A and B are shown apart, each in its own frame.
Chain A
Amino acid sequence: MGISVEGANKRFGDFQALDDVSIDVPDGSLTALLGPSGSGKSTLLRAIAGLEELDAGEVTINGEDATSKPPQRRGVGFVFQHYAAFKHMTVYDNVAFGLKIRKWKKPETSTRVHELLQLVQLDGLAGRFPSQLSGGQRQRMALARALAVEPQVLLLDEPFGALDAKVRKDLRTWLRHLHDEMHVTTIFVTHDQEEAMDVADQLVVMNEGRVEQTGSADELYEHPANEFVMSFVGEVNRLGDDFVRPHDMEIVLDADDRTQEGLVQRIVTLGFEVRVELVLSDGTEVWAQLTRAELQRLELREGQIAYLRPIQAKSFNGSSPSSQGASTPPGSPDGGDAEVPAAV
């Protein structure tokens, strides 16, 4: 059950949008397709909805082969980045659209539409036109419209991408709550790793038309399969062949055989967190994340020499993400986990 895609390929002229992509989305889960622009995540989502035809590959929705079905028979609800509101219809008519197509009777339609408008907190705005709504309201209307027909799966294409930061945060929390109530299998596309980690049960990291890694937020953060995933799901410093998260960098004032010398260039205090930027003797720029207390204990000043000690580093044997396998099963990262490696 759920959604599965097998060996999906899609080419737009010279551009390989999807390169042998396979994913499995468990029934009732909330999965994020995460990746930079051009990584193929939107194309994959649109292929699942039937809005894009695959050159090769299969799409299965709740056990049924949907590959050659048109969008209207796939039982999907789709939410677009730019809302795709029917501008000439009121909020009520937008939400009722799918029901009218299904020839629902008026009283039932009205009950259902008002239920949904209540759910998305738009009751009372039923008579407005989309142009009279804010971006956040329009997107909630689009969500109600998609949910009205009780889709088997809900697909959201960068649903919060066009909204400002505050509304975005509210809406994603709200989406998570909504999903916990409705349990409809949901996939949403985003390029924002924080958003993906905040909302999703499972993340699929994509890059250049391939799946780099699939797993929970913790798995991806703790055991990234390669350099790309590691740097995409969080901040990272590169020390030779090793990758170290800024909070896994310790700063000490005395050298030993595991430390590297660095010149403190800049100290930025961001509330509780302190960002210390250093230049190593080979010219590499790195930064370490400290707490205020640590900073005060060390009495660090800009322009002074300090010593860096990586607490935890990862190395991917110098391989680039593109040379990794197309899809990496979760929990078996290609890269080795090295506890406190020797200084480079």
Chain B
Amino acid sequence: MSANPASRWGLRFLGLGYLTLLLLIPLVMIFYKTFEDGIGPPLDAVTSPDGLHALKLSLIMVAIAVPLNTIFGIGCALLLVRHKSRLNPVIDAVINLPFAVSPVVIGLSLFLLYGVGGWFAFVSEEGLKILFAVPGMVLASIFVSLPFVVRETVPVLQEIGTDQEQAASTLGANGWQTFWKVTLPSIRWGVAYGVVLTTARVLGEFGAVTIVSGSISGQTQTLPLFVEKQYQNFNQTGAYGASLVLALLALVTLFGMNLLKRKEDA
């Protein structure tokens, strides 16, 4: 890097300025706007029955989608890294699909699949309502947040190599024991980053969930949908308040992980 202090400060200024302009100022504005008329109005909006229901539903999405994608992600990463096969590039590309395809397209595809005349329409006919209900929203959330754990875990798995796992096997550990005692502890920070990103994505998902849920207040609204509805109804304070709750949830996840990590490093 450049040793010139002027250019170093210039770079810092540029980096911080960019972040401030694009990230910090909008967030601060939300914060400011929320509490413009005191804590009352936003609190009322967030603690209204619909608001609380939206919060609960968002947390349910996280509680279902994140563990499923974590288990799937670790398994998939192990498959990609530890079991070389000619199918791997195909699997790899398919996993990236949710990154490449717009969430709206994902929502529409679920609609086609589970809607009237769709291939999986029988599921609804058997009594398990998918569309305009929680199951469909869970499916959409899983779909859009699927790649994160895989993408974060694959490089860490590659980096640790197979020596430690082989050592464990010569010491008598079976595959399951090796995974829990050696592999998982070695990749835990990769997995943790993946979990944080997955959580953030599930919390914030809008496009795919809007389409499959129909955004029915008090029934199929997650927090982002609630925010949008409030905004549409000219209840801007309510929208800001709910946005703030969303941002806080994401921050708590991030800081929680940093705290864990710091505790471990100490």
Contacts and interface: CB of A to CB of B under 8 A. Distances in A.
A71 B166 contact: yes
Contact of A71 (B164, B169, B177): B169
Interface residues of A, number: 27
A51 interface: yes
A82 B163 contact: yes
A76 interface: yes
B174 interface: yes
B172 A102 contact: yes
A128 to B, nearest CB: 15
B167 interface: yes
A80 interface: yes
Nearest to B182: A86
A87 interface: yes
A156 to B, nearest CB: 12
Contacts of A80: 163, 166-167
A338 interface: no
Interface string A221-243: 00000000000000000000000
A149 B172 CA distance: 9
Nearest to A97: B171
A198 to B, nearest CB: 26
A78 B163 CA distance: 11
B186 A97 contact: no
Given A98-B171, A98-B172, A86 B164 contact: yes
A49 B167 CA distance: 10
Nearest to B164: A84
A101 B167 contact: no
Contact of B170 (A78, A86, A87, A88): A78
Interface string B154-190: 0000000001101111111110010001100110000
Q: Interface majority SS on B: helix, strand, loop or mixed?
A: helix
Contacts of A77: 170
Nearest to B160: A87
B166 A101 contact: no
A3 to B, nearest CB: 15
Nearest to A87: B186
Interface in A78-97: 78, 80, 82-88, 97
B172 A88 contact: no
Interface in A257-281: none
A134 interface: no
A101 B170 contact: no
Contacts of A51: 166, 169-170
A72 B172 contact: yes
Given A51-B166, A80-B163, A84-B166, A101 B173 contact: yes
Interface string B131-174: 00000000000000000000000000000000110111111111
Contacts of A71: 166, 169-170
B169 A88 contact: no
A83 B167 CA distance: 9
A70 interface: yes
A146 B168 CA distance: 10
A145 interface: yes
Contacts of B170: 49-51, 71-72, 74, 76-78, 146
A67 to B, nearest CB: 16
A78 B185 CA distance: 22
Contact of A149 (B163, B164, B171, B181): B171
Contacts of A142: 167
Nearest to B170: A78
B162 to A, nearest CB: 9
Contacts of A78: 166-167, 170
Contact of B172 (A49, A82, A84, A101): A101
B166 to A, nearest CB: 5
A321 B172 CA distance: 40
A78 B170 CA distance: 6
Interface of B: 163-164, 166-174, 177, 181-182, 185-186
Interface of A: 49-51, 70-72, 74, 76-78, 80, 82-88, 97-98, 101-102, 142, 145-146, 148-149
13 contacts: A49-B170, A51-B170, A71-B169, A78-B166, A82-B163, A84-B166, A85-B164, A87-B164, A88-B186, A97-B171, A97-B173, A101-B171, A146-B170
Given A50-B169, A50-B170, A149-B172, 14 more contacts: A51-B170, A72-B174, A76-B170, A84-B163, A84-B164, A84-B166, A86-B182, A88-B186, A97-B173, A98-B171, A98-B172, A101-B172, A145-B167, A148-B171
Top 7 nearest A-B pairs (CB, nearest first) are A84-B163, A98-B171, A84-B167, A78-B170, A71-B169, A88-B185, A101-B172
